[in-house]
């Protein structure tokens, strides 16, 4: 508990800088390294947001509900926003009871709590090929929103009925980043990549029949896409896609402010 983030400790460090008792470089170094809170079963990084721009994200899979809750409580005590991924029903129910202002998304298996009610910035579009891909797409949506992005979702527009994508082309072309989620043969990211001016982050899902190999076929199809500007994350990794898209979106928003 000794190294828990406390506003008064940060304030004192800043006052030391103001009094020339500590250099700016030394203060930055101390903030980058400190503090870590030892819960016994987890090391909570309270200053992740200073390095990455967002607090540590809790991966709930493999943790007991009470462990996830304890980590979340430690982060909240330090003033951090919350994002929990891959949470089961027992964990989500526990988090809802402990943090009633948070938002659980059961298809995505996420729980999010933000201090600010400000609208998201920029524009990310999340496109899902089929309704079976929506849980992974929703994980990407919740992640990007938790990181402060404005997100539009477009679902069930896969290549089996490609005409369904046409009404959404303007939204796709306006987006700073497009996340495209698809299973089966994983063809949709190549199509969107040929239409969008932005980076396309492709997410293969473990949706399909036997030769699909639990998402491997979609993954290999996306990796071998002939469309330029398509990058690929791991199978079912909506979180990774949402986080990467939010970083790109934030950089574009900040560049626009400085222009």
Same domain, 71 and 154: no
Same domain, 248 and 128: yes
- Residue 125 to residue 105: CA distance in whole angstroms: 18
Q: What is the pLDDT of residue 216?
A: 97
Residue 13 lies in a domain: no
Residue 162 lies in a domain: yes
Q: What is the pLDDT of residue 3?
A: 41
8 Å CB contact between 37 and 67: no
- Residue 100 to residue 188: CA distance in whole angstroms: 38
Which among 66, 86, 113 is the end of a domain?
A: 113
- The mean per-residue pLDDT over the stretch 1-29 comes to 72
Same domain, 52 and 107: yes
Largest CA distance in the chain: 67
Q: What is the pLDDT of residue 4?
A: 43
Residue 1 lies in a domain: no
- Residue 67 to residue 65: CA distance in whole angstroms: 5
Model confidence at 87: pLDDT above 90: yes
Residue 25 lies in a domain: no
Of residues 99 and 118, the one with the higher pLDDT is 99
Which among 62, 78, 113 is the end of a domain?
A: 113
Q: What is the pLDDT of residue 33?
A: 56
Count of domains in the chain? 2
- The mean per-residue pLDDT over the stretch 110-115 comes to 93
Note if the bond before 35 is cis, omega within 30 degrees.
yes
Same domain, 186 and 216: yes
Name the least confident of 11-25, 165-179, 230-244: 11-25
Same domain, 84 and 105: yes
Same domain, 133 and 73: no
Same domain, 184 and 88: no
Which ranges in the chain belong to alpha helices (H)? 7-18, 24-33, 48-52, 65-77, 89-98, 134-146, 169-174, 188-193, 216-223, 238-258
User: How sure is the predictor about 136, in pLDDT bands with cuts at 50, 70 and 90?
Assistant: very high
3-class DSSP state of 38: strand
Provide CB contacts within 8 A for 251, sequence distance 6+.
Answer: none
Same domain, 99 and 152: no
Intra-chain end-to-end CA distance of the chain, in Å: 43
Same domain, 51 and 152: no
Q: Supply the CATH number for residue 203's domain.
A: 3.40.50.1970
Q: What is the pLDDT of residue 2?
A: 39
- The mean per-residue pLDDT over the stretch 212-217 comes to 95
pLDDT digits (tens, 9 = 90+) for 170-194: 999 999 999 999 999 999 999 999 9
State the residue range of the domain holding 216: 121-258
Q: What is the pLDDT of residue 54?
A: 86
CA angle, 93 then 96 then 97, to 5°: 90
Same domain, 138 and 52: no
């Amino acid at each position: 508990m000794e190294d828990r983030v406390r506003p008064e400790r940060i304030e004192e460090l800043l006052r030391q800088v103001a009094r020339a008792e500590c250099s700016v470089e030394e203060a930055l170094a101390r903030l980058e390294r400190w503090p870590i809170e030892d819960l016994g079963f987890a090391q909570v990084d309270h200053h992740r947001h200073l390095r990455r721009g967002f607090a540590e994200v809790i991966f709930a899979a493999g943790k007991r509900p009470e462990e996830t809750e304890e980590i979340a409580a430690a982060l909240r005590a330090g003033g951090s926003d919350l994002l929990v991924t891959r949470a089961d029903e027992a964990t989500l129910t526990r988090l809802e009871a402990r943090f009633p202002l948070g938002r659980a998304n059961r298809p995505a298996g996420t729980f999010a709590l933000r201090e600010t009610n400000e609208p998201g910035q920029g524009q990310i579009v999340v496109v899902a090929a089929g309704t079976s891909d929506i849980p992974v797409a929703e994980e990407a949506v919740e992640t990007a929103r938790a990181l402060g992005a404005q997100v539009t979702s477009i679902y069930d527009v896969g290549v089996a009925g490609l005409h369904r994508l046409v009404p959404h082309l303007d939204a796709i072309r306006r987006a700073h980043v497009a996340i495209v989620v698809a299973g089966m043969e994983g063809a949709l990211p190549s199509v969107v990549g040929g239409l969008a001016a932005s980076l396309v982050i492709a997410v293969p899902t473990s949706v399909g029949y036997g030769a699909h190999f639990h998402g491997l076929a979609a993954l290999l199809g996306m990796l071998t896409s002939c469309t330029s500007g398509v990058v690929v994350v791991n199978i079912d990794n909506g979180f990774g896609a949402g986080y990467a898209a939010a970083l790109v979106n934030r950089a574009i928003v900040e560049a626009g402010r400085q222009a």
